[in-house]
Homo-oligomer: A and B are copies of this chain.
Amino acid sequence: MRTKEGNKDKDILEAAVKVFAEYGYHKSKISKIAEVANVATGSVYVYFKNKEDILLRIFEELWEKLFHEYRKIARGKELQPANKFDKMIDMIFDLFTENPALAMVFVNEQNHLMLTNEDQFTKNYDKFLDEGIFVIKEGISDGTFSKDLDLAIFRHYIFGAIRNLLHNWAKEPRNFTLNNIRQNIKYLTMNGIKN
C-alpha cells in the first residue's frame, strides 16, 4: 500500500486561510487553495467534504483554541477580575499577531458561516463569550465593575469593537500597531471616553 505524503489536511487548511483572507470566501477557488497547498484540486475533496467544510473547520479549530484559553483564564484562582479581563484581551491579540490572515478570515467570514451554519456558530460564539462574562460577573460581585452592566449587551459590544479593530488593522496594518489597539481597548472598555 501507499502512505500519505505529509499533512495534506493541515496544508489545505493553512492554504485556505491565506486564500480566504486575500480574496474572501466566495471569490476563493478550490483550485487556488489546492495550488497554494501544493496539492491537486481533487485532493481537497479527499480531506474535506466541500468548500464550506473547509471554512467550518477553520472556525472550529479557532473557537476551540479561543474557548480553552478563555476558560483557563476565567476559572483561574490567582488573578483579580480586572487582570483576567486584561489577559483575555491580550490572548486574542497575541493569537492574531501570530496569524494576521486568520484574523482576516475570522472577522470577515463569520457572516457566511452564520447563514449556513447558524446554530453551530452561535453555540461556539456563546460558549466563548460566556467565559468572558463569567469574569465580568466576578468583578461585579467584588465591586470592580459596575453592577448596572447589561451583560447580554456588553458581550456583543466588546466583541464587536475588537472584531472591527482587528479587521481594520488586518486590512491596513501600517495604520496601527496591534499593541496600541490592545491598550486602547482596555482603557476604553474600562473607563470610557469621558474626562
By a beta-carbon cutoff of 8 Å, the part of chain A in contact with chain B is: 23-24, 26-27, 108, 111-112, 114-115, 136, 139, 143-150, 152-154, 156-165, 167-168, 171, 175-176, 180-181, 184-185, 187-195
Residues of B within 8 A of A145 (CB): 193-195
Residues of B within 8 A of A112 (CB): 24, 26
Q: For the complex formed by this chain, how many copies does it contain in all?
A: 2
Report the Cα distance A6→B18, complex, angstroms: 47
Report the Cα distance A143→B163, complex, angstroms: 30
Report the minimum CB–CB distance from A158 to chain B (whole Å).
7
Residues of B within 8 A of A165 (CB): 153, 156-157, 160
**Contact indicator A157/B161 (Cβ below 8 Å):** yes
Report the minimum CB–CB distance from A174 to chain B (whole Å).
12
Report the Cα distance A176→B152, complex, angstroms: 8
**Contact indicator B27/A184 (Cβ below 8 Å):** no
**Contact indicator A194/B191 (Cβ below 8 Å):** yes
A156-B165, A160-B161, A164-B157 known; A136-B24 Cβ under 8 A: no
